[in-house]
Amino acid sequence: MFQHIPVLADEVISYLAVQPGGKYADGTLGGGGHARLLLEASAPDGQLIGTDRDEIALAAARENLAEYGSRLLSFHANYTELAGFIKTHYADGADGILLDIGVSSPQIDTPSRGFSYMHDAPLDMRMDQTCGQSAKDLINTLPQADLRRIIQEYGEEKWAARIADIICERRALAPIESTFQLVDVIERAIPKGAREKDTHVAKRTFQAFRIATNDELGALEKAIDDLVGALKTSGRLAIITFHSLEDRIVKNKFKYLAASCICPPKLPVCTCDKVSEVRIITRKPVTAGQHELKNNRRAASAKLRVVEKII
């Protein structure tokens, strides 16, 4: 069953200021954990629009949330499409929108999905298995320079150049098709003495190709503007991230949307005509408390940021 414990559950409901009868949206429905909380907090007649690009996750969410009937509208779609669904079904916009970014525990724990370096499986890594290129496609076709950039930027791996070189050497002999074949390449590239003691040698590279395969950072950058536009005035957007690359995008985007002027500091008169669109609710990211960390290790890297629309 596609289920996982929703992180920062109490904080999400509190910071979204969920009210009975409100109209909400969850762009990363997953197994329906956060969605259930939103539906319960907005009872008896609150509504929720949910999207997920993973068909398996969407089917599980529909089953898990069947008791809420027509209060839930769910769609097989990337969260980059969520704003369109909100504008279609909520004439005045949403009261609150949630994104819980990144790969889910069930996706990692299902060997056949190819997300995990702990199981031998085809190199897929697609969250939506109905479309797009797989990690195998990228690894076996991209030029060395692009491979290096992906591993370096998305995985923050200092051995990116060496890994990219060996990928190219290996695929010249035969395609790299499985997770363990990629792990073997990475192990060849990184000397034992240079490996981090508490981190699997392949962790950073697998993260990098997962992000690239699913265009995770590009999708996040694109979605934030659209989702703020789909909020009603005083509506809130909450985004949970799990690594620094995502969090940096959210932080900087929220800061830009909240700014009333982006002119150079030395310019005597504002000429940019920029206006504040949101108010930042969380000046620092909200993180899990000790009680949650004891019960859910996944929460350790979770960061929640929230803004409120003011125009």
**Does an H or E element contain 279, and which?**
strand 278-280
Confirm or deny that 289 is annotated as ligand binding: no
Of 52, 102, 94, the C-alpha closest to 75 is 52
SS3 213: helix
Residues 144 and 168: beta-carbon distance below 8 Å: yes
102 and 14 within one domain: yes
pLDDT at 1: 52
164 and 236 co-located in one domain: no
Same domain, residue pair 147 and 186? yes
Question: Looking at residue 105, what is its pLDDT?
Answer: 77
Residues 33 and 163 both lie in one domain = no
Q: What is the tally of structural domains in the chain?
A: 2
CATH of the domain at 29: 3.40.50.150
33 assigned binding-site residue? yes
CA gyration radius for the chain? 21
Structural domain for 183, as ranges: 109-214
My answer on whether 101 and 27 are in the same domain is: yes
Say whether 237 sits in a helix, a strand or coil: strand
**Is position 24 annotated in a ligand binding site?**
no
Q: How confident is the model at residue 2 (pLDDT cuts 50, 70, 90)?
A: low
Confidence band of 102 (pLDDT split at 50, 70, 90): confident
The verdict on residue 194 lying in a domain is yes
Together in a domain, 193 and 115:
yes
Residue 17: pLDDT above 60?
A: yes
For residues 275-304, average pLDDT? 95
User: Residue 47 falls within a domain, yes or no?
Assistant: yes
Residue 3 has pLDDT above 70, yes or no: no
Q: Is residue 100 marked as binding?
A: yes
pLDDT tens string 44-88:
999 999 999 999 999 999 999 999 999 999 999 999 999 999 999
Considering the domain architecture, whether residues 91 and 50 belong to the same structural domain is answered as yes
Q: Which helix (H) or strand (E) holds 257?
A: helix 244-258
Let me know if residue 78 belongs to a domain: yes
Identify whether residues 81 and 209 lie together within a single domain: no
For 95, the token pair is 């009261």
pLDDT of residue 5: 82
Q: 109: pLDDT confidence band, cut at 50, 70 and 90? A: confident
Which residues lie closer than 8 Å to 253 by C-beta, 6 or more apart? 221, 224, 225
Whether residue 197 is contained in a domain is answered as yes
Ligand-binding annotation for 207, yes or no, is no
Q: Is 34 labelled as part of a ligand binding site?
A: yes
On whether both 208 and 61 belong to a single domain, the answer is no
